[in-house]
Chain A
Amino acid sequence: MLALSAQLALSALLALNLPLARAASDDLPQVMRLLAARRHGRVDFVEQHFLSVLKRPVESYGVMTYDAPNRLEKRTVEPRPEELVLDGNELTVERKGRTHVLDLDAYPSILPFIESLRATLAGDLPALERVFDVDFSGDLDRWTLTLSPRDSKVSKTVSRVRIDGSRDVLLKVEILEANGDRSLMTLRDHPAP
């Protein structure tokens, strides 16, 4: 009995796991292909920051625009208007009337925050794998990418990035920092004007 139930359990597990394993091998490239095929996207975002220094989470929201292959624009409306534009490796931040231009390569601590999103949107698996160990779960209609920084210097700031999506649409981006702080960004299609 015991042996049988163990076998059942095992087969049940196998039954559960086998399709999953197959999905990982087939669906990841397919999701990436779908994402890569998408040249333009425009979404509303709500971002919640759970920080140890805060009594309650702080929320920010705004609009994010993506143009393939490497232009990402994040326009925050609240709590304070702010614009962040990533073009190639150049990050332009406009804040309080001042414009700061940063070279992404010069700031390894910011890199994972940006690269996880940009490379995923571009469907660029090799780029993702340069920075992260990539773990895929779920299927085409409901997938989750779990990204762990490969570089120890990077993992000192970010311990994990989790991206939930459905086909070529990103739904949630969660960034877990090494110090326990966390931010969760929820994306929704931007209503057509």
Chain B
Amino acid sequence: MSARGAWAVGVWLCCLALAAWAALDARYVADLSAFLPSRPTPAQQLLVDQLRDGPGSRLLLIALERGDVETRARLSAALAHRLRGDREFSNVGNGDEATAARDREFLFAHRYLLSAAVTPEHFTPSGLERSMQETVADLASPEGLTLQGLAVRDPTGEMLTVIDQLSRTQAPRPRDGAWTSADGARTLLIAETVAAGSDTDAQEHALAAVRAAFQDAVRDSPLPPARSVELVMSGPGVFAVASRAKIEHAVMRLSAAGSALVILILLAVYRSPSALVLGLLPVATGALIGVAAVALGFGVVHGITLGFGITLIGEAVDYSIYFFIQSAGGAPERWERRLWPTMRLGMLTSVCGFASLLPSGFPGLAQLGAYSMCGLIAAAAVTRFVLPVLLPRNFSVRDLAPAGERVARRLRAVRGTRAAVPWIAAFCLAAGSIAVLLLSRHALWSRELSSLSPIPATELRRDAQLRADLGAPDSLDLVVVQGASLDSALSGAELAARALEPLIAQKVIGGFDSPAVYLPSRASQTARRASLPDPATLARNLDEAARDLPLDAGKLGPFKSDVEAARRGRLLSAADLAGTSMAAGLETLTMRRAGGWSALLPLHAADPSRPSIDIARVRRALASAQSSAQALDLKQESDALYSDYLREAMRLSLAGFLAIVVLLLIALRSPGRAARVLAPLVLAVLTVAAVLALFQVRLTILHLVGMLLIVAIGSNYALFFDSGDRDGAEAGPTLISLCIANACTVMGFGLLSLSGVPVLEALGTTVAPGALLALIFAGILTPAPPTPAPPVHA
């Protein structure tokens, strides 16, 4: 080993050790944040908060299916009891009578602070007469039968007002003390986790806790039909856990399968285990350095970045293939001199492509860029500087030159004698592809973030079903009010509510929820308390009001003492709601954030069958009421965010492509040669895009990344063909090395297209055919050299 070689190995080992330390020390996250902007605008921040910690994100929808209604109701009670004892859940609802009774008691006790009808006017003789007239009518109505007991304490009907304020949405119906779907097929529960929806580990733990509690409940149930009851769960946490598991599972399985296939191919080709081990060194080094670079550069490593890491294998494994096969015959020095510059240029081209992803605001893409760049440079460096040193003296791989010659002869036959023919065919193909892409340009790109979601449609339908049963619509339209304190956020919510109220009558919205219904702001509470008259005034006004009414004012003593108690009582605070479902309501509709609080007012569509809301009219109504509240359409915002990413990724890819063009112009010192290198790559990208469009595949951001990868990987092929001399692609060993490298790439990415995970499938279906086409086009479009190259090893 020469001194220079020893240096190389020493540096390599040091780098490996440092990288291993950085990779082990890194923080790995598997949450949504890979898909969320790293530098959000204020509106995006609201969206991000919503997606990560919003009320919806912590909600688990639980359904019990099969078995009879009564058995399910018993299980529901047992399950709810267990979950309520679990600190992981802040709120568990199943429609039980105990909670309902506590709720009623709380509402009744605090009705004068909670009812929006409580104003000074309400307690004047005419105000009292009006509200008591209503109560008399209520008493005469069939519903009044349940209210008679209340009349002496609440002749102004405050309890009804409070209940009306709360029951804006249709709640599920309790049957045997448990919420049951209208058709009786499902018994329903909701559980809200303490942990944020974006904390996938905590969500996974919570799901396991629900499953365990359910199994305990079934085991302890004295009813034999309990065994047949099935547990079904849905909600954002369920989806997050399922999609992470799916991606992890797919990445593991495919990495294993891909590696096994590549190893098999290499073993078959090299017929040498030591060559195989040496050949995998650049890939392994590249992967490790890539992870370390991301960890050092970003602080955290996204799980999905590791998933994309499989793409690195696709290119890095090629390097050792080129080295071993091209330097076969025991001449690494000649390879270094003649072929390494070509490979280095190919590597730099790829690095240019990936560098363009670095400035992306989409953390997943930026990390992919950093990972690939550093990984490729490391893999190429190991191939160039370390592999030659480690090569055993008597090292040899199977002689593939004859096979290469056969391929070369075929290639020459295909090219024919007239160089123009392949180029004319290529122009036709390019024109056809461009025509297809132009024709389908409006439906070419998917604009929805959900296109990246690995959740199958059947599970989304089940989620919608459970939400409909529970009356818990997926709140996609929201009004958000910010405040320095919880109380100021609640005040803001009250102001916004006054602006929204008229929109219900105008059928712009069907209704809305507000946290201020559960806990009015202190200002509102104070005003309501101040509206309550002193005992003497109340007695006088009551006598006057009841003069012409059938109500007997003399029997209303309990009412007077309740009003007096409220007048002297203290205001409600969030702590007073503990133990009621109102506490959960308040908690879900308020969020603590840096520097204050947000109050959320989810909007309900006027027509449930067409759940779209004219958000512009909502914004106008809020603005004209001087409300600082912001109206958000979460789906629209998240799709807009995704569209931004897509546009940005297109711009960056284009910049990367231009960088590659400039690099080739400088390195090749000839516009013609640069054009010849680029032509097969552009043609491969166009053809793949056109074929995807023909199959009605909506292109996503990952297809775009795939196209970048076609250029990155394909540039190696094109450059080797371009070098044209007797060491270039025309030579048998070089040609066969390209074919084998290509086979490995197509195999690896082909597997991705079978993963069932949309992001990985998109990569696979783009890169596998693209890499193959890039090789074929590069071979065919390179002009035949004037004289056939003589066999190298002869």
- Encode contact with A along B548-577: 1 for CB under 8 Å, 0 otherwise: 001110011000000000000000000000
Nearest A residue to B100, CB-CB = A106
Tell me whether A55 and B551 are in contact (CB under 8 A): yes
A58 near B136: Cβ-Cβ < 8 Å: yes
Task: Map CB proximity to A onto B113-154 as digits: 1 under 8 Å, 0 otherwise.
Answer: 000000000000000000000101101111111101101100
Inter-chain contact A84/B142, CB cutoff 8 Å: yes
Is B220's CB within 8 Å of the partner chain A? Answer: no
Residue of B at shortest CB range from A76? B141
Check if A74 is an interface residue, CB within 8 A of chain B. Answer: yes
User: Measured between C-beta atoms, what is the minimum distance from B511 to chain A in Å?
Assistant: 11
- Nearest chain B CB to A140 CB, angstrom units: 30
Residues of B134-183 whose CB lies within 8 A of A: 134, 136-137, 139-146, 148-149, 151-152, 155, 164, 167, 170, 173-176
Give the CA-CA distance A84 to B174 in the complex, in Å: 20
Contact A79 B146 (CB under 8 A): no
A53, CB-defined interface residue at 8 Å: yes
Residues in B with CB closer than 8 Å to A60 are: 140-141
Q: Which of A76, A79, A110 has the most CB of B within 10 A?
A: A79
Pairwise interchain contact B175-A103, C-beta atoms closer than 8 A: yes
Q: Does A49 contact B140, Cβ atoms closer than 8 Å?
A: yes
User: Cβ of B137: which chain A residues have Cβ within 8 Å of it?
Assistant: 79-80
Instruction: Decide: A93 and B148 in contact? CB cutoff 8 A.
Output: no
Bound-complex Cα distance A107 to B176 (A): 10
B-chain residues with CB within 8 Å of residue A113 when the two chains form the complex:
142, 145
Chain A contacts of B151 at CB under 8 A? 51, 53
A53 & B551 in contact (Cβ 8 Å cutoff): yes
A57 to B146, CA, bound (A): 18
- Closest A residue to B556 by CB, please name it: A53
Cα separation A44 to B747 with both chains bound (whole Å): 82
In the assembled complex, the Cα of A66 lies from the Cα of B411 at a distance in Å of: 90
Contact A58–B175 (Cβ < 8 Å):
no
Give the residues in chain B near A98, CB-CB below 8 Å: 164
Complex alpha-carbon distance, A11 and B775, angstroms:
119
Residues of the B chain whose Cβ atoms lie less than 8 Å from the Cβ of A79: 136-137, 140
Name which residue of chain A comes closest to B136, CB basis. A58
Chain A window 153-193, contacts with chain B (Cβ cutoff 8 Å), 1 for yes, 0 for no: 00001000000000000000000010101000000000000
Residue pair B140, A74 in contact (C-beta under 8 Å): no
Q: In chain A, what residue has the closest Cβ to B555? A: A53
Compute how far the CA of A192 lies from the CA of B376 in the bound complex, rounded to whole angstroms: 92
Return chain A residues, CB-CB under 8 Å to B556: 53
- Which residues in B have their C-beta under 8 angstroms from that of A179? 148-149
Q: When chains A and B are docked, how far (Å) is the Cα of A106 from the Cα of B552?
A: 32
Most chain B CB inside 10 Å of its own CB: which residue of A52, A53, A56, A57? A53
Residues of A within 8 Å of B, CB-based: how many? 35
| Across-interface contacts of B141 in A (CB, < 8 A) | 60, 76, 80, 82, 95
Q: How far is B145's CA from A98's CA once the two chains are assembled, in angstroms? A: 18
Residue in chain B with minimal CB distance to A86: B142
B704, chain A: closest CB distance, angstroms: 50
Residue of A54, A57, A60, A113 contacting most chain B CB atoms (<10 Å): A54
Nearest CB of A to B166, in Å: 13
Per-position contact with A for B174-215: 1 when CB-CB < 8 Å, else 0? 111000000000000000000000000000000000000000
Residues in chain A near residue B145, CB distance under 8 A? 109-110, 113, 157
**A135 at interface (Cβ–Cβ under 8 A)?**
no
Pick the contact of B140: A58, A107, A177 (CB < 8 A): A58
Q: Give chain A nearest CB distance to B469 CB in angstroms.
A: 14
B278 to chain A, nearest CB (A): 74
Chain B: number of interface residues, binned into ranges: 20 to 34
Q: Which residues of B contact A109 (CB under 8 A)?
A: 145-146
Contacts of B167 in A (CB 8 A): 100
CB pair A58 B164 closer than 8 Å? no
A93 to B146, CA, bound (A): 13
In the complex, what residues of A have CB within 8 A of residue B555's CB? Answer: 52-53
* Chain A residues within 8 Å of B552, by CB: 52-55
CB of A141 within 8 Å of the partner chain:
no
A107 to B143, alpha carbons, bound, how many Å? Answer: 11
Residue A26, interface by CB 8 Å: no
Query: In the assembled complex, which residues on chain B have CB atoms less than 8 Å from the CB atom of A55?
Result: 550-552
| Interface pair A53/B143, CB less than 8 Å apart | no
Tell me the bound Cα distance from A98 to B143 in angstroms: 13
Partner of B170, one of A58, A84, A101: A101
Closest to A56 in B: B550
Residue numbers in B under 8 Å from A100 (CB-CB): 167
- Residues of B near A93 (CB, < 8 A) are 142-143
Interface residue? A105 (CB, 8 A): yes
Given A101-B170, A106-B173, A106-B175, are A54 and B139 also a contact pair (CB < 8 Å)? yes
- A27 interface contact, C-beta 8 A: no
Residue A59 at the chain B interface, CB threshold 8 Å: yes
Contact residues of B between 505 and 556, Cβ < 8 Å to A: 550-552, 555-556
Chain A residues lying within 8 Å of B550, measured Cβ to Cβ, are 54-58
Within 8 Å CB of A49, what residues of B? 139-140, 144
Chain B nearest CB from A35 CB (Å) reads 22
A47 within 8 A of partner (CB)? yes
Contact of A53 among B140, B142, B146, B148 (CB under 8 A): B148
- In angstroms, Cα B140 to Cα A47, docked, is 8
CB pair A51–B139 under 8 Å, yes or no, is: yes
In the assembled complex, the Cα of A80 lies from the Cα of B135 at a distance in Å of: 11
* Set of chain B residues within 8 Å of A54, measured between Cβ atoms: 136, 139, 550-552
Nearest Cβ in chain B — how far from A55, in angstroms?
A: 5
Give Cα A27–Cα B522 distance, bound, in whole angstroms.
Answer: 67
Give the residues in chain A near B148, CB-CB below 8 Å.
51, 53, 177, 179, 181
In Å, the complex CA distance between A84 and B143 comes to 9
Q: Give chain B nearest CB distance to A58 CB in angstroms.
A: 5
Q: Is the CB of B149 within 8 A of A110?
A: no
Which residue of chain A lies nearest to B134 when distances are taken between CB atoms in the complex? A80
Residues of chain A with a CB closer than 8 A to B176's CB:
105
**Alpha-carbon separation in the docked complex, A12 to B176 (Å):** 52
A62 to B511, CA, bound (A): 32
Q: Can you name the residue of chain A whose Cβ is closest to the Cβ of B142?
A: A84
Q: How far is the CA of A181 from the CA of B151 in the complex (A)?
A: 13
A150 CB to nearest B CB, Å: 19
Determine the residue in chain A with the shortest Cβ distance to B180: A103
What 0/1 pattern do residues 24 to 62 of A give for CB contact below 8 A with B?
000000000000000000000001010111111111100
A59 adjacent to B143 (CB under 8 Å): no
| Chain A residues with CB below 8 A from B152, complex form | 53
CA distance A110 to B142 in the complex (A): 9
In the bound complex, how far is the Cα of B734 from the Cα of A153, in angstroms?
92
Binary per-residue interface labels of chain B (573-598) against chain A in the complex, 1 for a CB within 8 Å, 0 otherwise:
00000000000000000000000000
The CA of A109 and the CA of B149, in the complex, are separated in Å by 12
Q: Would you call A95 and B174 a contact (CB within 8 A)?
A: no
Closest to B163 in A: A100
Closest to A47 in B: B140
In the complex, the chain B residue whose C-beta lies closest to that of A93 is B143
Complex Cα distance, B173 from A57, in Å, reads 34
Question: How far apart sit A109 and B147, CA to CA, in the bound complex (Å)?
Answer: 11
CA distance A127 to B35 in the complex (A): 61
Q: Contacts A55-B551, A179-B149: A95 and B140 contacting too (C-beta < 8 A)?
A: no
Name the distance in Å between A83's Cβ and chain B's nearest Cβ: 10
For the complex, what is the distance from the CA of A74 to the CA of B143, rounded to whole Å?
12
Q: In the assembled complex, how far is the CB of residue A108 from the closest CB belonging to chain B, in whole angstroms?
A: 11
Complex interface residues of chain B between 368 and 390 (CB less than 8 A to chain A): none
* A189, B376: Cα distance in complex, Å: 93
Q: How far is the CA of A79 from the CA of B137 in the complex (A)?
A: 6
Closest to A181 in B: B148
Q: Which residues of A contact B149 (CB under 8 A)?
A: 179
The 6 closest A-B pairs by CB, nearest first: A60-B140, A80-B137, A55-B552, A54-B550, A79-B137, A58-B140
- A-B contacts, 8 of them at CB < 8 A, read A53-B556, A55-B551, A56-B550, A58-B550, A80-B141, A102-B173, A106-B174, A179-B149
Binding site for A on B (CB under 8 A): 134, 136-137, 139-146, 148-149, 151-152, 155, 164, 167, 170, 173-176, 550-552, 555-556
Q: A109-B145, A113-B145 are in contact. List 4 more A-B contacts (CB 8 A).
A: A79-B137, A84-B142, A84-B143, A110-B145
